[in-house]
Amino acid sequence: MFVLDEADEMLSRGFKDQIYDIFQKLNSNTQVVLLSATMPSDVLEVTKKFMRDPIRILVKKEELTLEGIRQFYINVEREEWKLDTLCDLYETLTITQAVIFINTRRKVDWLTEKMHA
């Protein structure tokens, strides 16, 4: 699965060539999730060019809600404290589903290993 979040922002900031390169390197069986706050023509162009039978879920701005969703941002001063902080969250709260944003593949692999241990 490949997730491209903030696709509209990425395209507007000049990452079109990099995004196209990524799509061209993906296996044809890779499921793609493209998320965008807006659906400008360049985002639609990506869906037409690289996705087979895309399912578009469009939500009116006035219908956007975070009801039932709790978001956390914790500024952790040192890299080595991040896992303990994440573990503290899981011990303190009842978490049934979560999205954790990580900026490198190496860190994703490392965290996956730690969470499965």
pTM, two decimals, is: 0.51
Distance (Å, rounded) from C-alpha 24 to C-alpha 50? 8
Q: What pLDDT does 91 receive?
A: 93
Q: What pLDDT does 40 receive?
A: 84
103 dihedral zone (left: phi>0; alpha: psi -120 to 50; beta): alpha
pLDDT in tens, the chain (117 residues): 888 888 888 888 888 889 899 999 998 888 888 888 787 888 888 888 888 888 888 777 777 777 788 888 899 999 999 999 999 999 999 988 888 888 888 899 999 999 998
Cβ 37 vs Cβ 5: under 8 Å: no
The number of CA neighbours under 13 Å toward the Cβ of 47 is 17
